[in-house]
Amino acid sequence: MIRYAGVISDSVVDGTGLRLVTFLQGCPRHCPGCHNPELIPFDQQKGLEIEEKEFVRLLLKRITQEHSGITFSGGDPLMQADSLCAVLERLKKKKPELNVWVYTGYNFEEVRDWPVMKYIDVLVDGPFVEQKKDLGLAFRGSSNQRIIDVPKSLAQKGRVVEIKLGVQSA
């Protein structure tokens, strides 16, 4: 089972291009200034629990030719790493070319050996740090967060390969 709070079809701020974005429920970090505080609680009243297989079906129905890929945000999607892994394994089986971004409060070094990582193309890592907030940064909220090319980083035995995407225009 996987607990999610919603899916939007038309985001251009959660990764490159037009993206389907799904928000997974729950994060233990409580960063001051969190952009989605309603997605922090883990309790059963929040979000919707669904079987991984059903979730994949739902996502596949929403993905169109217009989408550059899918993004998992939250909350922290890696708090449900095993379920997310099962979802991504199925998704990538159906659509091997699907570009997958995941936002997490973990640092890459903490999660690089997790099985789910082999299905992720780009990881935006680290918690939001209000003192490092920078509205000019593309696809992330604070300057400690990195946009990481996961396949390249894993191939380099975990040496982080960052993607430099410049500054987002206002």
Residues forming contacts to ligand SF4 in the complex (CB under 6 A) are: 27, 29-31, 34, 36, 40, 74-76, 105, 127-128
C-beta separation of 121 from 151 below 8 A = yes
- Nearer to ligand SF4 by Cβ, of 69 and 127: the residue is 127
**Tokens read off for 50:** 């669904």
Please work out, in degrees rounded to the nearest 5, the angle formed at the alpha carbon of residue 112 by the alpha carbons of 42 and 58: 50
Compute the least distance from the CB of residue 107 to ligand SF4, in Å.
11
Distance of CA 142 to the CA centre of its chain: 16
Nearer to ligand SF4, 36 or 99 (CB): 36
Closest to ligand SF4 by CB, 56 vs 117, is 117
- Report helix, strand or coil for 90: helix
Q: Which two tokens stand for residue 32?
A: 């001051």
CB of 110 to ligand SF4, least distance (A): 13
Closer Cβ to ligand SF4, 63 or 129, answer by number: 129
Q: How far is the CB of 94 from ligand SF4 (least distance, A)?
A: 28
Q: How far is the CB of 40 from ligand SF4 (least distance, A)?
A: 6
Residue 94, CB-side half-sphere exposure with 13 Å CA sphere = 13
